[in-house]
Structure formats: structure tokens, C-alpha cells
Amino acid sequence: MAKRSGMTLSELCASLHRGPHYIRHLQQGLGLPMIPSSEGYPRAYRVFLDRIIYLRVFGVPLDDIVALFAIEKKLMQLLKVDTSASSPLWYLAACESEDASPNRLLLTNFDAGPWIREDGTVQYSLDFGARAPELFKSAEMGEDIMNVFTLYREQVAAVSRRLRDERHVVRDALEWVTSAALRKT
């Protein structure tokens, strides 16, 4: 019997301080795979869900998070990052990195700096895997990487505005909880 390498759903929920219904809702909304207990959820999966929960605490709608996540995955696919990994969770590989440089994507923490330069040039990754052939090339279908990157920046700017607007409310709520609500327990 192979040893499980990650957390069970129960362990994942406990580490995130959320119930299984809440976690399942996030998984379904984001299109994340549900990992069998025999394999377990990797740490990167938990770190990613932490970020999603933080955004939800700040009132960022799940639809906005889903849209941002889709754009991040599309960017990585256009850069062919998905072809260098065999895991179905390839897009979460950078989540565990402690680096928080400005070149990293918000949700997946993927470092886009080496690929997308400030001058607008793009260095594509080598294509290490075979994909099903497309009828048209990405560029022919209007999937220019700089257009997708512009959409990403716009979506991140909207989320950032929401976070700035809500941080005062969250700070005030924390002060209230520590001063009033916790005194009564």
C-alpha cells in the first residue's frame, strides 16, 4: 500500500479552519480537482485555498476570483508552462514559494518576470509536452499573450481596489472582536 503524500479532505478543512461544504463550494467554483484520500491534497493546494479564503474575507466575489484564476492559467498555458509538468495541479506549483516579488501572479504565485518583460517582449517556455492539435493557432484566435496580460493587470487592479477599500473594515472588525466580543467569553 502506497503512503499518502498529502492531506485528506478533513485535514485540509481543519488546516483552513473551514467546513467541507465551504471547501467543496470553492473547489467547484474554481474548477479544482477533488483529490482522492489515497493520494491526499498537497501543501500547494492548501496555500492556494488560503489565498482564496483571504480574498473572500475581504469581500472579493467568487466570480471575480474565478475570472482572475482563469486568466492566470491562460497566461501560463500561452507561455507553455503547463507542458513542463505532469501533475494535473501544474498551475499550483509556485504557490509554496515564499517569494512575493511584484512579477508573481496574485493567486498562483507564478513568477511571470522571466517570461513577460517590461518592454513588452515575451520569452516563451520550451514546449515539453504534446497537446491535442488545435484547428487554429492561439494568435489566430485572438489569444495574444500581451492582451491576456493586460486583462490580468486590469483584473488584479480591480481586486486590489476592493482589498484597499475593505482593509479598514476588516481592521475595525478585528479591533472590535478583540475588545468587545472576546471579553464576553
Whether 4 has a pLDDT exceeding 70, the answer reads: no
Record the pTM: 0.83
**pLDDT band at residue 183 using 50, 70 and 90 as cut-offs:** low
Mean pLDDT score of the chain, rounded to an integer? 85
- What confidence tens digit (pLDDT) does each residue in 13-36 have? 999 999 999 999 999 999 999 998
Spatial CA neighbour of 29 closest among 62, 4, 78: 62
Please give the pLDDT value at position 182: 63
Interval 40-97: pLDDT, tens: 999 999 999 999 999 999 999 999 999 999 999 999 999 888 877 778 899 999 999 8
Contacts of 36-39 spanning 24+ positions with Cβ under 8 A:
37/4, 37/8, 37/9, 38/2, 38/4, 39/4, 39/5, 39/6
Higher pLDDT, 125 or 21: 21
Give the pLDDT score at 135.
Answer: 45
Max mean pLDDT range (109-113, 151-155, 177-181) = 151-155
Query: Residue 9 has which C-alpha cell?
Result: 479532505
Tell me the backbone φ, ψ of residue 104, rounded to 5 degrees: -85, 140
Please say if the pLDDT value at position 129 is more than 80. Answer: no
Q: How far apart are CA 12 and CA 98, in angstroms?
A: 20
Q: Which residues contact 81 (CB under 8 A, 6 or more apart)?
A: 90, 91, 110, 125
